[in-house]
């Protein structure tokens, strides 16, 4: 019976070297110790939503719904926040404007349009993911009633 080998020992050594792992070879160069890694921001937990009828969200639920439905990308450390922070800084604004909750230039209609149609790296969000009632609450929260 023939033994099946997925990777040769040379391939395994090359993979572990590229991955920065020790493949057991004593002659592999270790990364220099430059001190402890930088402090990372704590993971931002999304707010849990109470059990309710998603088709009847109230305006007062806007912040919680935003945190729960949009928080993956638009809370601190999210990809959307990082991209918006870069965009805002290039426009001469402080980095805090990368967080949508800090913005004062958003209108409810603009928020609804971006959510449903998408914009650049943000895909359109369907009515299954965020109902119209939830979107109205989010848009009122972010649009500050404008």
The tens digit of pLDDT for each residue in 94-118 reads 999 999 999 999 999 999 999 999 9
Structure-token pair, residue 33: 């110790």
Is this prediction's pTM over 0.95?
A: no
The tens digit of pLDDT for each residue in 77-88 reads 889 999 999 999
Q: Is residue 26's pLDDT more than 50? A: no
- Average confidence score pLDDT of the chain: 78
């Amino acid at each position: 019976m023939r033994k099946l080998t997925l990777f040769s020992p040379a391939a395994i050594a090359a993979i572990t070297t590229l991955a920065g792992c020790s493949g057991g070879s004593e002659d592999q160069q270790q990364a220099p110790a430059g001190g402890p890694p930088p402090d990372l921001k704590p993971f931002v937990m999304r707010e849990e939503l109470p059990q309710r009828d998603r088709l009847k969200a109230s305006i007062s639920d806007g912040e919680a719904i935003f945190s729960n439905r949009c928080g993956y990308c638009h809370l601190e450390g999210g990809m959307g926040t990082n991209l918006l922070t870069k965009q805002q800084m290039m426009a001469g604004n402080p980095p805090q404007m990368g967080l949508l909750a800090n913005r004062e230039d958003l209108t409810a209609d603009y928020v609804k349009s971006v959510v449903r149609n998408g914009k650049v790296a943000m895909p359109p969000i369907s009515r299954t993911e965020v109902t119209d009632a939830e979107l109205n609450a989010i848009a009122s929260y972010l649009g500050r009633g404008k």
